[in-house]
Every structure is written in C-alpha cells, then in structure tokens.
Amino acid sequence: MRAIGALLGGWLLVAGTAIAQTAIRYNAAEHVWQISAGQMSYALGVNDKQSLQTLYWGPRLDPAASFPQPKQLPEAASFDPGIASSPIEYTGWGGGLPYEATLKISFPDGNRSLQLQFVDAKVTGDELEITLKDSLAPVFIRLFYHAYPEGILARWSRVENRGKQPLTVEQAGSATWNLPPRATYDLSSLTGRWGAEWQLQTEALYPGEVVLESRRGSTSHQVNPWFSIGSRGETTEAAGPVWFGELGWSGSWRITVEQTHADAVRITGGYNPFDFSYPLAPGESLETPKFYAGYTSGGNGEASRILHRFQRQQILPQRPHPKPRPIIFNSWEATEFKVDEAGQIALAEKAARLGVERLVIDDGWFGQRNTDHAGLGDWTVNPQKFPHGLKPVIDRVRALGMDFGIWVEPEMVNPDSDLYRKHPDWAMNFPGRPRTEARNQLLLNLARPDVRQYVFGWLDKLVSENDIAFLKWDYNRNWSEPGWDAVPLAQQKEIYVRYVENLYGILADLRKKHPQLEIESCSGGGGRVDLGILQHTDEVWPSDNTDALDRLVIQDGFTHAYSPNLMMAWVTDVPNFLDRRVIPLDFRFLVAMSGSLGIGGNLNNWTPEELSTATRLTAFYKEIRPTVQFGQLHRLLRPGGPEGRETSALQYVSDDGKSSVVFAYLHSQHFGRPFPTLRLQGLDPAGMYRLSPLDPKKLVIASPDPNASPERNGSQERNGSQLMGEGINLALSGDYAATAVRLERIR
Ligand code: GLA
C-alpha cells in the first residue's frame, strides 16, 4: 500500500482530507467479517443455514461495530420465497431463486441447481478469501475481496470443479453487491454510440431489472461497465450517498441492477451470459473479472475523485506514479491515409515549435493501406510512402526533441490483405457461413494460440527495430460470427474469455519486453475503456468526436468514471468533420487542456497568429499539467442539461493542495446574462492563494457586478474562504468564450 499524501498515525492525508487505511477484521463471536477501505465499510456474515450474506455496505464504521445476525428470511408468500429477499453475497441459481444468479452451472446428470454454503475463510493482509461449496456437488467457489486505501473494494471469484465429472458454467458473475433496501434510488450509467460516447443517464430504480451490457465481444461505445447509485432527492454533485462501481473486463460483459418486490437492490456483474458456456473438466477452474466498487457520502464528485485516485494508484501500468501524458501531435485528422516521409517530417517540424512532445503517425503507414478497404494485417512499412523505412522520420522527430508513436490495429484483417489470403481461417467465422464485414474488415480470432503468436511477433519486431515510444492500439469494429472451429464443439464458446485473456497477454508480454513502451486503448474512439484494459494501457481515446462543444459533454461523462489523465483530447481543425461547427482556437484548446492535451489539426494550414496562440497555450498547459492530470477534479458547472446549456466550469486541485486551476466555458451567451459566479471548491479556507489568470482582462475577482472594471494587474491574492464563499467572476461574453485561472497557495 503506498501513501499519496503524508501518512499520519494510520491515516492518509490527501489535500487536507483524511483517508483511512484499509482493515479487514473477523469477529469470531458474531462470525462476521468487516472490511474497511477509505471512506467505506463492508460487512458479511454466515447464517445458521451456512449461507453467506451481505450485512452492510456504507459509510466507514467503528471497528467494534456489531451487526444483526444474518437470519434466513421467512417466506413472504408462496410466490416470494425467503431466498428472494435475503441479501445473499454470491448467489448460485437454485432453490427457486427468482432473481439474477451470480453463478449458474449445469451438471452431466441433468442437475442445474446449486446451494452454496460457507466452508472457510482466510485473511491475508488486505485480502479476504472465502470458500463456498455446493451442498452436494464437489464444486467449490472461491470469493476474493481486496480492500484498497483509496476506498475501493475489488471482488472476484473462481469456480473450481473438484469432482470426477465435467460440468458447464452457464453464467459466471464476479460478485453481487447488495444495497441497503430502499425504494428511492437513482441509477446513473454512461451510454452512447460512435462519436457520442459518455452520455450520463440517470433514471429512477423501481421493481424490475436494468441491464447494462455489451454482447459485442468488447467493452462497447453503447454502455460502459460503470454504475453509480444515489439517493433520490439527496445525492448531488457535492454531497449525499453514492454507491458506485466498475467492472474490469474488455470482452462481453453484463451488469444487472435489480430492485426486488421487497425493495432490496442488488447489482450483479461479470461475464455476459449471452451465448456463454464454459466447460470445466475435473480439476479445471474459471476465474471471473474483477468487479470494483466503492461508497462515499460526498456526492457524485467525490465518487469520481475516488475512482480517479484509485485508477492512478492501483490500476494503470505505471501505478502508483503514472508519468504525465506528453503533448502529442497525431496525423489522423490532418492527413488521414496520406501519410508519407516528407509530409510527416514537415508536420513534426511545426509541431515541435509549438511545444509538442510526441509525434504519432496514425493509420496509413503500412501494407497497401491507402483507404480503409485494404492492408490491415500486413504490418510492413509501405515503401511508396516511406521509401527508407520509418527511420528518417523517427530520427528527425527525435532530433526535434520529441518521441515517436505509431498507430496499429493488431486484432483486425482486411479481406484485401496478404495475411487474409494466406490465413483465411484466422478470421473469426462460422464455417460455411458468410463473414460479416464492418469498415471492410474482419476480426482475427485472438483466442487461437497461432494468432496470438503472430500478433505478438510483428508488434515485438516493429518496436524492437524502431525507436517507438508509443502505440495507439485501435480496434474498429464489434464481433460477428464468433466461431472457433479449431477446438471441440463444447469449448468453442470459451472464445469470449480466451480472446480477451490473449489480448491482455500480448499487451503484458510487449510491456515486459519493452518496459518504456506506452500504449493507448482506442476503439473508434471510446469503445474499449474499462479497468481491465487500463491495467495494460496508459491512456485512452474517449471519442472520435473532436468538436469542442460536444467534447465538453463527452469529457464530463468520461470523468464520472475515469481519470482526466487518461483522457486524450486533441485540438483539431474547423469546421469540425462531424458537426461542421466553427469554434475559435483558444476555446478548442481550453477544452482539450482539461484532459491530456494533443493536437490533431493540419498545422500546414494554421496562420502565424494561430501558431502563436497554440505556442502560448501549450506552454500554459505544461504549467498546469500536473494539477490537471493528477489533481482532484471538481465539476463546478456541468455542461448539458438545463443548467449547463450556456456555461460549464471545472476546477482541479493538486493532491498537496498547493495548486489549482479553473477552466470556464461560455458556450453561448443569451439575453446578456453574465457568466455565473464560480464558487471554488477543495481549497484550504485558511490558505492564501495567488491567482494568475490566463487572460488578466477576464478575471474580476469577487465582484458581484459583472460590469465592474476588470482588474488588469495580472496576479491577485485571495484567501480560500473568500474564493469558496464569494467566488470569482469572469468577464466572458459572446459565443465560445473560455478562459483559465491558475491558483498557487502562498501561505
Ligand atoms: C479510428 C480511430 C481514429 C483513427 C482511425 C484511423 O476511427 O478512433 O482516431 O485512428 O481509426 O483509421
């Protein structure tokens, strides 16, 4: 366990907030385990029928807290068995369970019923392991619990066949989370589609089931495996209870949120049971993905901050101290498939002058890749575009003081490619059936060991033979025809698990062999962002939509679930390719600067004035970068929705509380309304701060009168309580006006 702030007597201090350490305690008299992680406690116990039950999930408790005995509830009616209302910790389907089961198994004798009973438990440091067993069959389930000091509990499970007969797992969840019974919960989720990911939806829960899922073989643009549940009328951005979680799996997944007839609310997540079956021969086992969850009383903002901190400290490959994301230039929107040596060197020269730190050549550099109709699979440098290989470009990029990255899409093949002509059997397919193309491409079946070896082989060669610091790993379609006829029929559906395991395996092997290599997870934008892939990749591309106004909404949704340092954000050209909207350059920059900044416009067409704006803003970004990428985010004014149509604002505060930065965006002014006063958050009320506005003319401190003459002397000093109480006023007017203000604590 690593401390991010000062470690004081068993407490962790982060920006003045004390975060308790983890603890797992067993109370033998009550037969209860209490797990504490950050602001949360979780308790479970065993009843007289040896059934493991959830006893508590909520605010952190005193270690000596005691719990009511987990009694088996009586039948409420002949239609509502006791099992239906009991907060069972991990449900095996059987005994008339009318709700989602965490686990469902079929046995060769026709039995499909489980009755899981407690066997034993073991605590090792921050980890609790509980073993359950079916009352009759030799099936053992290991439940794992790992407590993290940031306030997250990870749960996952392993199903073990210790009998002499094979069995088939038909449904395998990682965990079921039971909430305190209540009829007034709101569920938030993140939904979308290509170009419109990360739309935050909030709906009332009522008896029935909400299914969040992907059947697409990967995480999906349509729903992200994240949930957040608040108390209706009570939970806001800044306060109130929030139960939240996310699944670490990049294949087909499912999270169900059920409210039972008795207002019990349970969340079950893991492998998607659709088209799923996984045979276990005697001695074999199946492990599920990890399902991470937390609780806070500090509202949706604090729930996000817990997740951000957790991802940076515990999930990312460079944990617990991920390196700052460099400012990149990416060629895609600038030159699309028309990449070549001279063109990319010309862009590199211009990018370097702006302060860019990494040049990334996107699609188009390999095989016969002149359009999206051909070339995927043929990962050799195109000799017409790069007659001397990649070396001259990389050498020039390095000489300009930048490092070099390149786009790859390793899991795909175009039928028009040498690879497909040689190995048509490598593409996922059902024998004898048509192969459904999307963007003119098919999926390679990565579950096959020979495909895994081929993919690792060429990637390793590419990275070994060239000075490559970064791969943008793309994935531009969903699954169809998920057949795998090279293995016996009973195992063919293992493809859903084995594919993703091999994907993680390739990424892990590459990183092990090339420890300096950094990788981005891209899937036509944000189609593969989850806590599974993030253990192998350093950043993600949230959306192909680079329109700055849409991006404000996309980025707002994204930060509900994932850390801003992961969120790559490019400044691209206008009119935007998607919305045809024309937004001024400084607004586009300020939107991208609230994540990990990049540039994707065609610099050959930028005017001297635009280039100088870009140079000034990249320099400013470098100053605020640690605060934006590693600080605590406060969403002061959220875009979208009735209040955020005209304006939005964000504030980041560094973990040590010494620096902060505020971004303010006026999307469109109406009826002469002044920009709302921004009451800052997360500062020390007694601290004194120096404010350095990006544009001094736009800062009108603590003056309620928007027409008061702006103070023009640049930096000013105010104390934390004034900044959080009276706030700051910004003289923004017109459409697409934006600015930023830096704060440094001086005493
Ligand atoms: C996907 C990515 C884009 C770009 C193109 C290239 O759409 O999301 O950023 O790399 O592929 O074909």
CA separation for the pair 322, 447 (Å, rounded): 30
Instruction: Choose the catalytic residue: 126, 474, 550, 655.
Output: 474
Structure tokens at 245: 């979680």
Residue 474 a catalytic site member: yes
Ligand 1 centroid to 386 CA: how many Å?
20
* Residue among 25, 29, 49, 155 nearest 102 (CA): 155
Residue 382, H or E segment: none
CA of 475 to the centre of ligand 1 (A): 8
Instruction: Please give the number of the atom of ligand 1 that sits closest to the Cα of 523.
Output: 8
Residue 713, pLDDT score:
42
| Alpha carbons 715 and 36: distance in angstroms, whole number | 44
Which residue owns the Cα nearest ligand 1 atom 8?
524
Closest-CA residue to 644 (of 300, 98, 200, 234): 200
CA-nearest of 254, 248, 250 to 269 is 254
The average confidence (pLDDT) of the chain is 94
Could you identify the residue written with the tokens 């009332």? 204
pLDDT given at position 9:
32
What spacing in Å lies between the alpha carbon of 717 and ligand 1's midpoint? 45
Beta carbons within 8 Å of 690's beta carbon, 6+ residues apart: 715, 716, 717, 743, 744, 746
The predicted structure's pLDDT at residue 537: 98
Atom in ligand 1 nearest the alpha carbon of residue 541: 8
Q: List residues near ligand 1 (CB under 6 A).
A: 332, 362-363, 407, 474, 476, 522, 524-525, 541, 544
DSSP 534: G
Closest Cα to atom 11, ligand 1: which residue?
A: 524
Calculate how far, in angstroms, residue 545's C-alpha sits from the geometric centre of ligand 1: 11
Give residue 356's Cα distance to chain centre. Answer: 26
- Specify which residues 403 forms β-bridges with: 358
Q: Given ligand 1 and candidates 474, 529, 541, 554, which is best to mutate, with the most ligand atoms within 8 Å of its CB?
A: 474
Which atom in ligand 1 lies closest to the alpha carbon of residue 472?
Answer: 10
Q: Report pLDDT for 716.
A: 87
The closest residue, in CA terms, to atom 9 on ligand 1 is 544
Contact call for residues 365 and 382 (beta carbons, < 8 A): yes
Helix (H) or strand (E) holding 634: strand 632-637
Residue 102, SS3 per DSSP: coil
Question: Which of these is catalytic: 126, 416, 530, 544?
Answer: 544
205 to 187, 200, 229, 660, 726: CA distances (angstroms): 6, 16, 9, 37, 37
Given a cut of 50, the residues of the chain with pLDDT beneath it are: 1-17, 703-706, 708, 710, 712-713
- Which residues 6+ apart lie within 8 Å of 24 measured at CB? 33, 34, 35, 36, 123, 126, 127, 128, 145, 147
Asked about 80 being catalytic, the answer comes back as no
Q: Which residue has a Cα nearest atom 1 of ligand 1? A: 524
Most informative mutation of 544, 546, 554, 570 for ligand 1 (most atoms within 8 A of CB):
544
10 Å CB burial of residue 114 (0-12, 13-18, 19+) is: buried
The alpha-carbon radius of gyration of the chain (Å, integer) is 27
Is the model's pTM score more than 0.85? yes
Residues in Cβ contact with 452 at an 8 Å cutoff, skipping those fewer than 6 apart: 446, 502, 505, 506
pLDDT tens track for 420-473: 999 999 999 999 999 999 999 999 999 999 999 999 999 999 999 999 999 999
